[in-house]
Amino acid sequence: MAARTIIAPSILASDFSRLGEEVRAIEAAGADWVHVDVMDGHFVPNITIGPDVVKALRPHAKIPFDVHLMIAPADPYLEGFRAAGADIISVHPEAGPHLHRTLKRIRELGAKAGVVLNPGTDPGPLEWILEDIDLVLVMSVNPGFGGQSFIPGQLRKVERLRRMIDAAGADIILEVDGGVTPETAPRCIAAGATALVAGSAVFKGGPDRYAANIAALRG
């Protein structure tokens, strides 16, 4: 029996005027993680939240905080996000000169270390540092904004990473983010994904719908 797919609702799509309530609501609705999109207006064309908001939200849920750093440079902020309560910290290879060193530092801080691959980023180099990775996040949209359409070609990347991870016998979570809906989720899972990030697909319809929306993504 396959393990249950991890569902990580992205609070980027939530009601920012009531973030604490939204985080409590998705946990109550069955979410496995809280996905936090951190954007700096430089690495990606948008600005969202920083460590202080993560710290403020942390008491509102017991489930892990999955923090995706869309910032460059990322290294100066690792300690701040970990101290704020990030359980998983994921960075882009393009966000610093030494990915391996960054991943090692994240683990030293006590968090799980993730790598995020943009649509045009080759997964090949990860083969040489798999033992230092806890999670790989495949972006199935270009990062920076919510509500974008799924890029089908990224499924081939998920399949390639699945083969790479399995061949190495590595214990790595394979996550997909961008345009994940009840229609695209089964394709991601079939390609080898074990975790899904979804924003609009979870938060549409308000809190009364969150449990059903999350269940629909699991299939």
Residue list for the binding site for a divalent metal cation: 35, 37, 68, 177
Task: Establish whether 66 is a catalytic residue.
Answer: no
Query: Position 85: which residue type?
Result: G
Residue tagged active-site, from 52, 66, 177, 208:
177
Is residue 183 a contact partner of residue 200, using CB atoms and an 8 Å limit? no
Is residue 141 a contact partner of residue 151, using CB atoms and an 8 Å limit? yes
DSSP labels, the chain = -PPPPEEEEBGGGS-GGGHHHHHHHHHHTT-S-EEEEEEBSSSSS-B---HHHHHHHGGG-SSPEEEEEE-SS-GGGHHHHHHHT-SEEEE-GGGSS-HHHHHHHHHHTTSEEEEEE-TT--SGGGGGGGGG-SEEEEESS-TT-SSPPP-TTHHHHHHHHHHHHHHHT---EEEEESS--TTTHHHHHHHT-SEEEESHHHHTT-GGGHHHHHHHHH-
Task: Establish whether 15 is a catalytic residue.
Answer: no
Annotated binding-site residue numbers for substrate:
10, 68, 144-147, 177-179, 199-200
Annotated binding-site residue numbers:
10, 35, 37, 68, 144-147, 177-179, 199-200
Maximum Cα–Cα distance across the chain: 45
Residue tagged active-site, from 15, 32, 37, 52:
37
Residues with active-site annotation: 37, 177
